[in-house]
Structure 1
Amino acid sequence: MPSELKKVIDVASCREYDMVTGARGEKSFQVVNRKLGKRLIKYFVNKISKIDVPDFNSGLRVFKREVIKKYLHLMPDGFSFSTTSTVTFLKLQYNVKYVPIFVKERDGRKSNVKIKDGFKTLMLILNLSVLFAPLTFFIPISIFFIASSFIYFILYSIIERIHITSSMTLLFITGIIIFFMGIICEQVSAVRRELNN
């Protein structure tokens, strides 16, 4: 609706914020079969950005041109541009403003986003996690493998005898390798984020 667009433009025109986004409220129209997927993405977006994001994929947004140009190399070509730009601006601590808006059901052409895009959504979550919070992604997996090796050792020692098997060693080494992969990924992602700065 033009009135909702004007709300966003009015706030953006003051040039106080680096990005102004229209945040759809609970009364706004939502496609029912996408609610579960959106909740999943919202959980990860909140976890990565460490704030409660009102609307992570609203297309009604205004950027400062000089800021968004720095990070176009991070942006995907598909529908996830809105989510990626949200996480980018929040994670890099730019000044973001959310303006409450109301959205009705789409008239005319239906949305291009289909249920089959669920795999793309999972890949988006993975990419955002690795790009902006690699240690948050890798460390829990590392801890899982290392803890599994110790639990396996304890149970084996109680049931059989005190002995380190090849499976225990493999679990432990896998955990260590994943940990160091996270360290390397943290450095690479930092360089990639600042590539055009």
Structure 2
Amino acid sequence: MRVSVVLPAKNEAEGLARTLPALREQWPEAELIVVDDGSSDGTAAIAADLGARVLSSPYSMGNGAAIKRGARAATGDVIVFMDADGQHSAAHIGQLLDKLGEGYDMVVGARDGSGQANFHRGLANAFYNRLASWMTGHEILDLTSGFRAVRAERFREFLHLLPNGFSYPTTSTMAFFRSAYPVAYVPIPVAKRVGSGSHIRPLKDGIRFLLIIFKIATLYSPLKLFAPVGGSFFLLGMCYYAWTFTMFGRFTNMSALLFSASVIVFLIGLISEQITSLTYTRQPQP
């Protein structure tokens, strides 16, 4: 089983100087790919000097774009994605690969509370995990972890869904669950990052994470989103009708509007569910 390790990097020369030697020492046969996302420091030069295959972009396209480019270039049967900032250890790759060998298609390194950048980030990630777990119907321990091992063939099926910016882990995780590709989690410690500060903007990228969750939900599990909304409109209509009938003895236009909205929302979800089923119907091979 040939392994490729893909590290998206933007101004991570200092982190690569620590990460790449450890990878080469512990995984001498692995293919190391550093995707330089328009860095302005010596990221590309450091990576090349340390023996990694370097894919450079003339300008920053985003973390997700770097992941997609690295996944396309990787020649291994298994791809390990990890950060270039020193947070992830080469020593933990073995744990991911061992779990992958048990029949899983994706294994994610799940961070504990100490691995979060700060309290607010940890609280937000806990909320994302719960929301995504409800959407997919599977327990998701770390939705946004960038440390994961995947079977290359499976992962490439979803490259067209991945955003060019952050949160490729969100999209890929939910896509794997919806496609019935088994996913497992392995608890790992996370070290303090080195080099430049985090490129994630908590407010803007937090909203983006939520939007992507709802986007994937409507693509893969539409009724889980539309049915509760439709039910809420129906319940509100019933409550309003009960109040107007008790107070005025009549059925109002507002009640009719709320009931109509509940039916329309539910039907949209039902149609979306059928479209989703057609999207995932595999065509017979010629």
Q: Following TM superposition, where does structure 1 have runs of at least 4 consecutive aligned residues deviating by more than 4 angstroms?
A: 193-197
Partner residue, 1:110? 197
Higher strand share: 2
Residue 111 of structure 2 is aligned to residue 24 of structure 1: yes
1:61/1:100 CA distance change after superposition, 3 Å: same
Q: Which runs of 5+ in 2 are unaligned?
A: 1-88
Q: CA RMSD in A?
A: 2.1
* Other structure's SS at 1:5 match: helix
CA distance in 2, matches of 1:76, 1:158: 52
* Other structure's SS at 2:184 match: strand
How many residues end up aligned between the 2 structures?
A: 195
Partner residue, 1:152? 240
Spell out, residue by residue over 1:144-175, the C-alpha distance to the aligned partner (whole angstroms, 9 max, x if none).
111222211111111112x2221111111111
Q: How does 1:36-115 map to 2 (within 5 A)?
A: 36-115=123-202
Q: Which amino acid aligns with 1:119?
A: I
Higher helix share: 1
1:47/1:196 CA distance change after superposition, 3 Å: farther
Larger radius of gyration: 2
* Other structure's SS at 1:113 match: coil
CA distance in 2, matches of 1:3, 1:196: 41
State the TM-score, normalizing by the size of structure 2. 0.62
CA distance in 2, matches of 1:178, 1:188: 15
Structure 1 residue 15: Cα displacement: 7.2
* Other structure's SS at 2:108 match: strand
Residue 253 of structure 2 is aligned to residue 166 of structure 1: yes
Residue 265 of structure 2 is aligned to residue 186 of structure 1: no
* Other structure's SS at 1:73 match: helix
The percent identity for this pair of structures is 30
1:118/1:26 CA distance change after superposition, 3 Å: closer
CA distance in 2, matches of 1:179, 1:29: 38
Greater RCO, CA 8 A, separation 6+: 1
1:151/1:10 CA distance change after superposition, 3 Å: closer
